[in-house]
Amino acid sequence: MSIVIGLILFYPFEIPAVQTVQLPMAHTTIEPQYFQKPYLPAADTIDNGTLKADLIEIDKLIVDETISKAGHEFMEIFFSLWSWPQVSNGSFMMMIKERPFRGISTTITITINDLTVFESFLQTRYDVLESLAQMAAEQTYSYLMNYDNIMKQLEGKDMQGTGIY
């Protein structure tokens, strides 16, 4: 039986004391793994010590996120029609997403660098898919050309300031 008073607990019987033992400590230091330099084979390095894999950059990427047969067919038609325009600056990531909509229909969305460029309902008829893919390719191409023209105008000499107010 114990009696609780405030936060102190009293036992009517005696509790044996716990003995602590001091363990000997080793005096060796182990360098953590994140401080150690990784092994870089000579074939994978360039003169200044950077990896060749660090220098690889993907300028133009198309990501397919279609889920239905009609979506896959749209992607195949779009990809056969698509050619990247010769733009002066920019690395672009194009995502073609298909999402379910009400009933049995789906929507197809084309985004470039997280900006929606084209969006439409997707139908299963092949001739409609061809015309929709043609329209999507034209609209996406015109967006990229317009983007390139705007970037060239913003980099022009009349838009660059001297910093003097």
pLDDT in tens, 36-45: 555 555 555 5
pLDDT tens for 56-102 read 667 788 899 999 999 999 999 999 999 888 877 778 899 999 999 88
What integer pLDDT is reported at residue 10 of this predicted model?
Answer: 54
Global pTM value: 0.62
- 114 pLDDT more than 50: yes
Q: For the chain, which residues make up each domain, given as ranges?
A: 60-156
Cα–Cα dist 18/62, whole Å: 67
Proportion of the chain above pLDDT 70, given as a percent: 59
CATH of domain 60-156: 3.30.160
- Cα dist from 130 to 43, 89, 90, 120, whole Å: 48, 30, 28, 13
- Reported as a pLDDT band with limits 50, 70 and 90, residue 160 is low
